[in-house]
Structure 1
Amino acid sequence: MSTDPRRQVPRTDTLLADGQIVPAVERLGRLLVKDAIRTVQERIRAGALPPVDAVPAVLAELPATAAALRPVLNATGVLVHTNLGRAPLSVAAVAAVAAAAGTTDVELDLGTGRRGPRGEAALAALRAAVPAAEAAIVVNNCAAALALVATALGQGRELVIARGELVEIGDGFRIPELLESTGARLREVGTTNRVTVEDYTRALGPDTGAVLKVHPSNFVVRGFTREVPVGGLAAALAGTGVPLVADIGSGLPGPHSALPGEPDLQTTLADGADLVLASGDKLLGGPQAGLVLGRADLVQRLRRHALYRALRVDKTTLAALEATLRGPLPPVRRMLVADVAELRARAATLAARLVAAGVDAAAVDSAARVGGGGAPEHPLASAAVSLPEEHAARLRAGSPPVVGYVEAGRTLLDLRSVLPEDDEALATAVLAAVAG
């Protein structure tokens, strides 16, 4: 009889019935656990693992959740990092999502027992955050908001827009192609670098559906340039019946001292825009969403359009948005106002801890960014921990993964994009990654 331990591979059904593995089946589902078991069985057959260690090896192989997405520590210094999911949700928003995950009163008036307005509490919170708005709706992202506006106001008609605002918004998607896909015709005015009020007014006619103003958030044109601000356009359009729609992108609710050049929802509407569009998961700090605020009659026109049904958000997004607006300052806006002296102190503390453990580390000054296409010319003074360049890949392979950036032959972990309460997790992850 062979004594080869590889012939003693535990059976799949035996492992599935093990008392330590059964809770994992209940938590993750049978398929994911069976995948982990097969991986461990192959290791045993290859002689890389003793059969007696099968159960702990299976438990170690299991993912934390049934989804493939993994939590990541963002030490890039980019506060709104598109590749890392943009704005992290606040504790209040996470709790609201969990509460809304089950059966909710999203479209039920509990007092009357009849159908109620969908997401009214979230929309009320949005209007309270932007008092200049008469009404608001929420769709699944800002591009969807622009598509809805173009369809409802411009289908078969002309949308007037400056040539310098026909921008690419990321991943190859371009504003003119998005607008034309709705059936609207674009009436380009001005030149790449200059546009005047007269350019806009000369383009108006019986086929004009709206005038669009798109904030070119991820680039800046310098030199011989000219644009027409929202206030100037609103004054020129007064009495024409042509709505002015402003897509400001990043979604600041109001003016922010750290970003003096960044447009915000309240000011844009107060300056005369009829509708303003923005993202919910950038500087607002909430879930992915497209926000549309402004004149009640126009918002209602969008709400009653057939396309709105295809673009509306689910109950968890509404819950997260409301909690973001009503709850404590969300992480992105906490990061935005972080004190530089405190960032330096945190970097010094973390670097000293790593040095004491034998790691080549140092605290250095750095420059963080808003990201997500916002405020490209406003670097944020910050502080980082500097490590050898080769640690970047090890950190990304860790648990949790840590994503920094490489500059001048060193890996930098910028602390402006890391909340103070995550410093301990960051230190532990770095020490584990450096240890190999």
Structure 2
Amino acid sequence: MDPRSSIPRTDELVSLVDAPLIAPHALKAAARRAQEAARRGEIAPGQVAARFLELAAAGPSTLTPVINATGVVVHTNVGRAPLAPEAADAALRAAGYVDVEMDLAGGVRSRERGKQATGALLEACPAAEDALVVNNGAAALLLAAAAFAEGGQLVISRGELIEIGAGFRLPELIESARVDLVEVGATNRTHEADYEAALARGASAVLKVHPSNYRVEGFASAVGVDKLKPLARAHGAALIVDTGSGLLTPDPLLPDEPDAATALKAGADVVLFSGDKLLGGPQAGVVLGTREAVARMRRHPLARAVRIDKLRLAALEATLRAPHVPVAEYLHADREELLARTERLAARVGGEVVDHDGRVGGGGAPGVALPGYAVRLPEVLAAPLRRRDPAVLGRVHGGHLLLDLRCVPPERDAELAAAVEAVRGTPRGR
């Protein structure tokens, strides 16, 4: 007799749950996943009920929280920027009815969606006259290309034709907005004359993109925003600057990362960047610029398709007004404090303290090391730590597991130590 014939039926499994935490259709889906695991031989038929109850107890969301012990601050695979407590609270408060598009004083619809978040952006970056927030950085670029160059030409240096995450390439994204992309210069060198020649042929806009996920060194040159502005103005073209990683003002730790305020002062009509990188907020595409340029983007029909939701608008505003943002704290972590914490963790779990460089991540500041430390442990611990809830994600390198505390809040050090002890099965003295 095939043992799989003893796999419990779906209705039998669903009846095991008295107070379901998820909807009936989700319970049935959990039952099917448990049954399929048995049919594939991953678990025994007698374990199906336990697997089902485990899946059902996970609740409506099955995303697993992660303790990021990789040393990568803006880690795309685990959600980029962790929100400040104030931002998380703001998103929760916005989950109900809020005045996202309502003038409560007048009792009428507001003309500007998310004016609270845009107001916070203008407070944080006075160099901007107006602001707009859309779904993500790619959406901001798509909207800018459509608003300023739809049906026309947009000029870009060949050295800035970057590929972003998951294989998406900027040329393909821009051209989807019915824009004719005009490439100028060479991969390593582009000059003012290259832009001048393209603008003389009637281009509508110039796009300057910061190649945030790679560096061109050696025999290389590029044209700065301050030099591009008079060229664009002379030909009546818009100047769009995509800074990518989201610095509002210069950061001495990251001298090669462009910031919005400097680009605006140098003459950019609009500056675009992601909200969930160095800004430390939720996923968003932020647009800062002149009043006329931002209004033009806001009026374009595509703006409706890429608009952002109320939860992220609330979180973005709170990020800009919070006293401390995790991304900034992790980037500028005190090295001596990191060493002391790392030594305590190593003593508890029986690891070795080693030098370890953290990274900015998120395609920002390539090649910039963040000097710090890590606890070195056997690589065999990596997989069971990842399977925990919360999962512990470290760096596997050279046959070892490295746990870097840079991006771990100090109040979670004991939780991380307990997780290591649990997978090792040999708790050490405290």
Find the counterpart in structure 2 of residue 377 from structure 1: 367
Structure 2 SS opposite 1:378: strand
State how far apart, in whole Å, the 2-side matches of 1:306 and 1:113 are.
26
Provide closer, same or farther for how the CA distance between residues 37 and 298 of structure 1 changes in structure 2, counting only shifts above 3 A: closer
Find the counterpart in structure 1 of residue 355 from structure 2: 365
Q: Which residue of the other structure, out of 384, 389, 397, is the alignment partner of 2:387?
A: 397
Q: Which residue of the other structure, out of 296, 308, 315, is the alignment partner of 1:313?
A: 308
Q: Are the equivalent residues in 2 in contact too, given 1:394–1:434 (CA < 8 A)?
A: no
State how far apart, in whole Å, the 1-side matches of 2:275 and 2:345 are.
33
Find the counterpart in structure 1 of residue 294 from structure 2: 299
State how far apart, in whole Å, the 1-side matches of 2:12 and 2:163 are.
56
What percent identity do the matched residue pairs reach? 52
1:142-169 deviation digits (Å, cap 9, x = unpaired): 1111111111111111111111111111
Output aligned runs, 1:67-78, within 5 Å: 67-78=61-72
Output aligned runs, 1:148-163, within 5 Å: 148-163=143-158
Structure 1 SS opposite 2:204: strand
State how far apart, in whole Å, the 2-side matches of 1:397 and 1:435 are.
15
Find the counterpart in structure 2 of residue 387 from structure 1: 377
Provide closer, same or farther for how the CA distance between residues 57 and 225 of structure 1 changes in structure 2, counting only shifts above 3 A: closer
Find the counterpart in structure 2 of residue 5 from structure 1: none
1:284-322 deviation digits (Å, cap 9, x = unpaired): 001111111101111001101100000000100101110
Structure 2 SS opposite 1:204: helix
Q: Are the equivalent residues in 2 in contact too, given 1:404–1:413 (CA < 8 A)?
A: yes
State how far apart, in whole Å, the 1-side matches of 2:119 and 2:289 are.
13
Aligned-pair Cα RMSD in Å: 2.7
Q: Which moved more, 1:212-221 or 1:59-68?
A: 59-68
State how far apart, in whole Å, the 2-side matches of 1:364 and 1:382 are.
9
Q: Which residue of the other structure, out of 60, 63, 68, is the alignment partner of 1:66?
A: 60
Provide closer, same or farther for how the CA distance between residues 30 and 425 of structure 1 changes in structure 2, counting only shifts above 3 A: farther
State how far apart, in whole Å, the 2-side matches of 1:216 and 1:265 are.
15
Q: CA deviation at 1:9?
A: 11
Q: How many residues align?
A: 417
Find the counterpart in structure 2 of residue 109 from structure 1: 103
Provide closer, same or farther for how the CA distance between residues 183 and 341 of structure 1 changes in structure 2, counting only shifts above 3 A: same
Q: CA deviation at 1:113?
A: 1.1
User: Are residue 410 (structure 1) and residue 400 (structure 2) matched?
Assistant: yes
Q: Which residue of the other structure, out of 396, 413, 428, is the alignment partner of 1:423?
A: 413
1:317-360 deviation digits (Å, cap 9, x = unpaired): 101110111113221111011101111111111111112xxxxx
Find the counterpart in structure 1 of residue 3 from structure 2: none
Q: Are the equivalent residues in 2 in contact too, given 1:363–1:384 (CA < 8 A)?
A: yes
Which sections of structure 2, spanning at least 5 residues, go unmatched? 1-5
Provide closer, same or farther for how the CA distance between residues 105 and 194 of structure 1 changes in structure 2, counting only shifts above 3 A: same
Structure 2 SS opposite 1:161: strand
Provide closer, same or farther for how the CA distance between residues 175 and 47 of structure 1 changes in structure 2, counting only shifts above 3 A: closer
State how far apart, in whole Å, the 2-side matches of 1:251 and 1:413 are.
27
Amino acid at match of 1:69: L
1:254-290 deviation digits (Å, cap 9, x = unpaired): 1112111111111111121111000001000011111
Q: CA deviation at 1:32?
A: 4.2
Provide closer, same or farther for how the CA distance between residues 10 and 381 of structure 1 changes in structure 2, counting only shifts above 3 A: same
Q: Are the equivalent residues in 2 in contact too, given 1:142–1:278 (CA < 8 A)?
A: yes
Q: CA deviation at 1:89?
A: 1.1
User: Are residue 209 (structure 1) and residue 204 (structure 2) matched?
Assistant: yes
State how far apart, in whole Å, the 2-side matches of 1:64 and 1:424 are.
24
State how far apart, in whole Å, the 2-side matches of 1:163 and 1:75 are.
37
TM-score, normalised via structure 2 length: 0.90
Q: CA deviation at 1:422?
A: 2.2
Q: CA deviation at 1:94?
A: 0.8
User: Are residue 183 (structure 1) and residue 178 (structure 2) matched?
Assistant: yes
State how far apart, in whole Å, the 1-side matches of 2:13 and 2:161 are.
59
State how far apart, in whole Å, the 1-side matches of 2:198 and 2:397 are.
48
Q: Are the equivalent residues in 2 in contact too, given 1:400–1:429 (CA < 8 A)?
A: no
State how far apart, in whole Å, the 2-side matches of 1:204 and 1:60 are.
62
Q: CA deviation at 1:120?
A: 0.3
Which sections of structure 1, spanning at least 5 residues, go unmatched? 1-7, 356-360
